[in-house]
Structure formats: C-alpha cells, structure tokens
Amino acid sequence: MAVLITESNDAAWSYLVEARKHLTQEQLSKSLDVNIRTIRRWEAKQSIIKPYIVPALQALLPFERAGVDAEAEFKFIDLFAGIGGIRTAFESEGGQCVFTSEWDTYAQKTYAYNFADGHSIAGDITQIDAADIPEHDVLLAGFPCQPFSIAGVSKKNALGRAHGFADETQGTLFFDVARIIQEKKPRAFLLENVKNLVSHDKGRTFDVIKRTLTGLGYSVHTRIIDGAHFTPQHRERILIVGFRESVAFDFDAIPLPEKGQCKLKDILHRVDGTEPLLEWDGDRFFDHSNQKVLDKYTLTDNLWAYLQGYAEKHRLKGNGFGFGLVTGESVTRTLSARYHKDGSEILVYQGDAKNPRRLTPRECARLMGFPDTFKIPVSDTRAYRQFGNSVVVDVMRHVAKLMHPLLSADVLEPDLPFANRAA
C-alpha cells in the first residue's frame, strides 16, 4: 500500500486509530514528540491533527512494502539511517530505497517526513531477521562503533568456544550489518564511521571489520574523506566500500575540490533581503520581516561569560579547549550531536558589541549539505542532535556517483573509466 500524504483530518484520524491498535498512548506520545494529553484530545476529536504530524504517524503503521520501481537503476537498503543523509545521495543517482532501519523515534519522525515512500521504518536492527529484508543491490549503513572484544583463536578453541566472524563481532552493531550481508549477499555495500575507527584499540577493531567483510567474499576499499572539500566544516569520516565481484573501483577517482573554497557565509542566513522564505520553516529560525536571525540563537550573557572563562582556564593550563568563534570566511570545527548544549564548537561572531550566536537548525542542515527542501519537523534540540549525527551529503553523493556504474551494469568490466564519472 502506497503512502498518501493528505491534509484531510479524517485521513489523519484513521491513521491514529490504526496506530493505536499497535501502540499505547504513551508510545505514541514519545514517537510523535507530543504531549500524551494531545493524543487523548485527538482520540476524542477535540483537536485537529496537524498536517505535519501525518508522515510521522504513517511511519508507525504496518504498511506493505512499496513495489519495485521499474525505472530505478538499483535497489538499496538504509541501515542506521538517521535522517537519511546517505539515502539522499544514492537516490540522486537513481537508486530506490526498499528497506529502512533506525531505532531513534525522533530521527524516524524526521526521516518519515522527508521520505514518505510506502515502506515503514523498522526499529531496532538487532531484532530484525535478515531473511525478512528485501533483496537489494547495495547496503548502506552509518553504523555506530562499539568496542570489540578480541581474543586469540587458540584460546577460544581450547575453551570450546566459537571464533572468527560470529565470535569476534557478536555483541556489536557491526555484527548486524555483517549478518545481513552474509544472508542477502548484495552486490556492494557502503559503510560510514568516525575517523577514529581506524585507530580504535590500536587498529585491532578496524582489522576485525576488514577481515570480516573480506571473509564474507568482498573486496574492501577504504578512504578517509574530510567534508571540508564540499562544505565549510572539517568532518573526517572513514568510508568502507565493498564489492562482491572483482571490479575496478578506485576511491582516488573521486575529484575532491580544494578545501576552503566553501565558506561559512555560503550557508548562513542572509540578512540582505535574499534569504528564501521556506513555507515549511516560516519564521521559525529567521525573522523575514526584520531580516535577522531570531534573538533566541544569540548566547545569553551568562553562557557567553562561562564559555570565555572556561576557555581561559584551559589556556592557562596550556591546552586548547574552548569555544570556536567563526566568521563568514571561516571553515568550522565538526558539528557534534552535543551542539544543542552550548554551541561552543561553532559560534558565529556578531560584532564586538553583541554576543555570538549558535547556528540555527536550518544552517546546520546546510552545513551538512542538505537542501533547503529538507524539512525539520522536530524541536531545535532534536534537530541539532540529528544533524550532528548525520553525514555530509555531498561526500556521499560523490561516492554514490563512483559506485553507480558498478551497481547497475549488467556486465562488469575491470577497466571501466571512472576518472570523469564523479565530476
């Protein structure tokens, strides 16, 4: 059954009735980020279900999977999907998402609001049977990194315990990626993680990951790419690409623009009258009447004094802890999921006579490479966390361009020309 976005409150109410067959009022309240009293008023038809709630409500229903798009050039699944940054990139290359998994209900809400395409969002990946996942050409996963416990094979043999793939990765979320690859055998995969994955546990964690993927029958290619090639933000991430067939994949074929060409001013709200009025944002972040960012994003005197004092204390100790004050000409530090707390890693300078300000959630979306058509249906706090945990979309788009010929070609040639493919 296809998802139909409608502003009819009758349709919205029918979704609510169906959802209540599977979820309690408390579960609905948490999933939709609304007060439980609001749920009760909806059920009693004492208040209107707002249109922006509908996609998130639909995502909670047990929809049938969408049919395969005959025009799609390849099919992919989106694991640890977050708010869909990797999906955005691969859809731009003609791919169709046929399965999504994301455990965080607030991220589900944002994802569903932007990708209402007929299949529900699965929750905890550890509870999903790999056999139930539809066939796909490429597996995408921005999996969390958890510590690996590695012990010698001889010791495991002596204790009569399993070793190798099942034992070395069991208990980590990477294990769930690996078991799905083992079951479904997609043509390719793309995994994304923090740069420190490479050095974690003196490199042993990364070694287990590579050995596991190679042991499943894939050629594995890795590269660390800084988002600063595409956006005014230093954000180094390890990308792991694997192919089941022997193909001429070369990460070096990605034409990386010179760092520093993108400046912070490219993503900041414009105060010269050219800031676009987005109907889904309205004046939530930017006061269009007065051409200014809302005052709530400017730091209070107390918070600004605290951050300056904290920075000075660490400066006297000889280390570099402190805030990151930036201008329109800057390239920022990495946007983190904790940005909502004080915004200290990226504070926008507003002149000596005014305290600096945080980026708005819309500016964070732009900093991560999301288009202005991407909607933000959650609170500022949730939005900051979601963008801080996301990927730089332009990095993923270039990787998707590089992988695309090998995902859709009927005959794979070892010398396909890639040099201009990702331009």
Active-site positions read 145
Query: DSSP assignment of 153-175, as one string?
Result: HHHHHHHT---SHHHHHTTSHHH
Neighbours of 56 (CB within 10 A): 25
Beta strands 138-141 and 74-79 are parallel
For residue 120, which of 94, 144, 100 has the smallest C-alpha distance? 100
Neighbours of 270 (CB within 10 A): 11
Neighbours of 157 (CB within 10 A): 11
Beta strands 325-326 and 286-287 are unpaired
Contact 118, 2 (CB under 8 A): yes
* CA terminus-to-terminus distance, the chain: 38
Contacts of 206 (CB under 8 A, 6+ apart): 197, 198, 199, 200
Instruction: Taking the CA atoms of 387, 388, 394 and 400 in sequence, report the sign of the dihedral they define.
Output: negative
Biggest alpha carbon distance in the chain? 74
Query: In the structure encoding, which two tokens stand for residue 191, read together?
Result: 């995994």
For residue 391, which of 237, 264, 261 has the smallest C-alpha distance? 237
Angstrom distances, CA of residue 82 to CA of 24, 182, 207, 283, 383: 24, 23, 26, 26, 11
